[in-house]
Chains A and B, each alone.
Chain A
C-alpha cells in the first residue's frame, strides 16, 4: 500500500484524495506502474474547490489499477487488508485512522460504494455532471463520478457542498442552478426496496435494519422487483471497457510515464512498455473493450449496450414516478476474502453498483445499504442516510 502523506490538519479540515485525482504537489499514479511517480502540471478542479473552502489536502490514497476493480486489490503498489485479513480500500482504512475528515474519490465501477458498505462509511456518488471531472484520470467517462467518503453523512454533505459546482473546464456539467438544487434538503416520503439481488445474510440484515429505521422515521416503504437492473452489469462492462481501452491508449511510453528498456522499433517501444507496465486485469479490460468496438461487434454489442442504457434509465424513471428513492445492496457480502477479489470478480460484483454507474444517477451508501435516487436529489439521499445512521 502506498500513501503519500503531506499534512493532517488538527481542525478537522483535512481531506485525502484517491490516486485518480491529479495534484501538482503530490504524484498521481492511478495505482499503475505506468504512472509511478507521475507529477501532474495542474490540480484537479476539486482540489482547487477544496482549498477555496478551507480544506487542506492531507495526502493521496492508493487505488486499484485505474480504479475499476473490486476494492483496490489490483494496485501496482499492493492491496490493503484489515486486521482480520479482509480486503479493504485504502480510503476506508485511512478514515479509520481518524486523521482526515473525508476522502474524495473517483467512482469508476463501484469500488468506493462497496468499500463504504463494508467498512461502515458513508459515501455519495453524486448526480453525474454536478462535480467537475477536470483533473481526474479518465477511465469510463460516460459514467464515472467524483464522490465523497466519510464517517458521517454530515461530513459527506459538507465536503460535497465544497466540491460540487459548475466548471467550464468540464463539458459534461449541468448549470449551477441545477447543481444547487441537487444539494437541497428534502424529506423522502416513500421508497422502494428492490428485490431480485442475491446477497449474503449480513447484507440482508443491513437492508432489513434500514427498512425498520425508515418505517420508524415515518418513511413509507414498498418492495419492487428490480431484476431488470441486474442487466446493467454486463452492459456497463461493455461501455466501461470500451472507454477504458480508448482512455488508456494514451499511455504508450513516449511522452511521460514508464518506458521499457528493451526496444528497437516503435512497435516494440509501445508493446513492451505497455506489457511491462500494465497489470493483467487491466490488459484483459483493454482487450475486451477493443473487441466490443470492433467493426463486427460495434452494432450488436456496443450499440446494443447504449440502447440498454436508455431502457434502464427509463425503467428508473418509472420507479421514480412513484418512489422518492430505491434501496438495494451495494455488494454481495460484507467481507471480501481472496476468492472474492479473484481476477474478473469486479465484472460480477458490480451487478449492485452498475445500475447507478450506467445511468449517472446519484447513489448514497450508508449503514451497509445503497440508496439510488432521481437525478438532482443528492440532498434528499443524504437525509435518508441520516435515517440509516440513526437506525444502525
Chain B
C-alpha cells in the first residue's frame, strides 16, 4: 500500500498517524496482505458467503413504544450540551 492511500484511509476514519506510525502500519498491511494470499488456495467459486455462523432467523419485536431513560440521564456523560442538545462546531451545509 502507498502512503497516500493510507493517509486517505486515515481521513475516512477520522484518525491521524505520525510518519513513524505510518511506516509501522504499512508494514502490518503488507504482512496481512501476504497472509491473505494463503486464502487463495481455497476455491470459493461456488461457496456461498457466511455472514452469520448459526442458522438463526430474526425474531421480530412488536411495534410497542417504551421509554427507557430521560434525556438528562443520556446526557450525563456528554462533553458539551446546550438546552438538551448535544453541541458540536458549526457545520457548513
Contact = CB atoms under 8 A, between A and B. Distances in A.
- Is A–B contact present in the complex under a CB 8 A cutoff? yes
Given A174-B56, A308-B39, A286 B15 contact: yes
Interface of A is mostly: helix
Interface size class of A (residues with CB under 8 A): 35 or more
B24 A271 contact: no
A347 B32 contact: yes
Interface in B39-92: 39, 41-42, 44, 47-54, 56, 58-59, 61, 68-69, 73-74, 76-80, 86, 88-89, 91
Given A142-B53, A168-B61, A256-B77, A301 B36 contact: yes
B4 interface: no
Interface string A258-285: 0100011111111110110010100110
B18 to A, nearest CB: 10
A359 B13 contact: no
Contacts of A343: 24, 28
Interface residues of B, number: 49
A157 to B, nearest CB: 22
A173 B10 contact: no
A303 B69 CA distance: 39
Interface of B: 1, 6, 9-10, 12-17, 21, 24-25, 28-29, 31-32, 35-36, 38-39, 41-42, 44, 47-54, 56, 58-59, 61, 68-69, 73-74, 76-80, 86, 88-89, 91
Interface of A: 37-39, 41-42, 127-129, 142-143, 168, 171-174, 228, 230-231, 233-235, 237-238, 245, 249, 252-257, 259, 263-272, 274-275, 278, 280, 283-284, 286-288, 290-291, 301, 303-311, 313, 343-344, 347, 358-360, 375
